[in-house]
Amino acid sequence: MNLKLLRLKSGEDVICEVLKESAEYIFIKNPAMLMPMQGQGQHMQMGMAPWMPFSDQSEFEIPRDWLVVMSKVVKDIANNYNQIFGSGIVVPDVKVDTKTLLKG
């Protein structure tokens, strides 16, 4: 899955799967809008909402001139997105020392 974070000219931050790109369009799937939300106490959290909640389609074309920037997604946000829209697979923070593992 080619998961990306898009900032649009409208100011929206959209997390989505980028299917393909052309000179004029970016083709995306399952877009979700990222929104800052008040967590417990003063802690800020990020929430996700469908980008086009009343649409019956999951794939969209965005004109390139509407794209301000496109970047990779941090792991925590990618894991949340995958739980909602993807396979449900969450990438753990576990690091395995394969040299030690293979010696045993």
Residues 28-42 have a mean pLDDT of: 87
Q: What is the mean pLDDT of the chain?
A: 86
Domain ranges of the chain: 3-103
CATH hierarchy code of domain 3-103:
2.30.30.100
| pTM (two decimals) | 0.76
Residue 2 and residue 18 in contact, taking contact as beta carbons nearer than 8 Å: yes
Q: How do beta strands 67-71 and 13-21 pair? A: unpaired
Per-residue pLDDT reduced to its tens digit, 57-99: 999 999 999 999 999 999 989 989 998 887 655 556 656 565 6
